[in-house]
Amino acid sequence: MAWPRQAGASQTQTFCAGQSAKGGGAPIRGAALACGFLLRRHRTRCRTAMHWFQLPANVWSAPEAQTRSCDDARRLNPPEMSGPPPVHPWVDQSPLDGAYALDANDTGTPSGQDGIVIFEREGDVALVKLNKPPHNLLEPAMTDALEVAFARAVETGCRSILLSSRMRHFCAGADLDATASGTLAKMDLIGFLQRIEDVPIPTVAAVHGAALGGGFELALACDLIIAAETAQIGLVETTLGLFPLMGGVQRAAAGAGRARAKEIAMLGRRHTSAALERWGLVNKVVADDALADAALSLARQLAAGPTVAYGAVKRIANHTARYGVEAGDALTADVAPAVWSSADLEAGLRSFLRTGSPGAVFTGT
Q: Picking from 63-77, 159-173, 191-205, which range would have the lowest pLDDT averaged per residue?
A: 63-77
Residue numbers of the domain that contains 320 = 307-355
Q: 342 and 247, same structural domain?
A: no
Burial (CB < 10 A; 0-12, 13-18, 19+), residue 51, is: buried
Give the helix ranges, DSSP H, for 37-175: 64-67, 70-73, 140-155
Overall domain count for the chain = 2
- Pick left, alpha or beta for residue 356 (phi over 0 → left; psi -120 to 50 → alpha; otherwise beta): left
Q: What pLDDT, on a 0 to 100 scale, did the predictor assign at position 175?
A: 86
Band (184; pLDDT cuts 50, 70, 90): confident
Q: 237 and 351, same structural domain?
A: no
> Is residue 321 in a domain?
yes
φ, ψ of residue 80 to 5 degrees: the values are -85, -5
Q: 332 and 233, same structural domain?
A: no
What CATH number is associated with residue 170?
A: 3.90.226.10
Q: 340 and 211, same structural domain?
A: no
Q: 109 and 248, same structural domain?
A: yes
> Is residue 32 in a domain?
no
> Is residue 74 in a domain?
no
Q: Are 267 and 238 in contact (CB under 8 A)?
A: yes
Q: What is the mean pLDDT of residues 345-361?
A: 90
Q: Are 22 and 35 in contact (CB under 8 A)?
A: no
Task: Judge whether residue 69 has pLDDT over 90.
Answer: no
- Pick left, alpha or beta for residue 187 (phi over 0 → left; psi -120 to 50 → alpha; otherwise beta): beta
> Is residue 264 in a domain?
yes
Q: Are 16 and 1 in contact (CB under 8 A)?
A: no
Q: 338 and 251, same structural domain?
A: no
Query: Rounded to whole angstroms, how far apart are CA atoms 283 and 273?
Result: 10
pLDDT in tens, 327-352: 999 999 999 999 999 999 999 999 99
Amino acid at the residue 108 = G
Q: Is the dihedral of CA 162, 166, 170, 175 positive or negative?
A: negative
Q: What pLDDT, on a 0 to 100 scale, did the predictor assign at position 235?
A: 97
Evaluate the omega torsion of the peptide bond into residue 79 and state whether it is cis, within 30 degrees of 0: no
Q: 251 and 141, same structural domain?
A: yes
Q: Are 45 and 60 in contact (CB under 8 A)?
A: no
Residue 274 parent element (H or E): helix 273-278
Q: Which of 120, 197, 217, 229 is catalytic?
A: 217
Q: Are 307 and 159 in contact (CB under 8 A)?
A: yes
Q: What is the mean pLDDT of residues 256-281?
A: 97
> Is residue 348 in a domain?
yes
Q: What pLDDT, on a 0 to 100 scale, did the predictor assign at position 100?
A: 57
Residue 210 parent element (H or E): strand 210-212
Q: 325 and 181, same structural domain?
A: no
Q: 206 and 158, same structural domain?
A: yes
Quick one: how far is CA 48 from the chain centroid?
21
Largest CA distance in the chain: 72
> Is residue 49 in a domain?
no
From 269, 288, 303, give the residue that closes a domain: 303
Q: What pLDDT, on a 0 to 100 scale, did the predictor assign at position 77?
A: 30
> Is residue 364 in a domain?
no
Q: Which of 237, 263, 277, 326 is catalytic?
A: 237
Q: 230 and 106, same structural domain?
A: yes
What CATH number is associated with residue 317?
A: 1.10.12
Q: Is 237 a catalytic residue?
A: yes
Q: 270 and 182, same structural domain?
A: yes
Q: Picking from 41-50, 185-194, 214-223, 344-353, which range would have the lowest pLDDT averaged per residue?
A: 41-50
> Is residue 318 in a domain?
yes
Task: Judge whether residue 56 has pLDDT over 90.
Answer: no
Q: Which of 59, 33, 34 lies closest to 46 in space, CA to CA?
A: 59
pLDDT in tens, 275-315: 999 999 999 999 999 999 999 999 999 999 999 999 999 99
Mean pLDDT of the chain: 78
Q: 326 and 275, same structural domain?
A: no
Q: What pLDDT, on a 0 to 100 scale, did the predictor assign at position 108?
A: 52
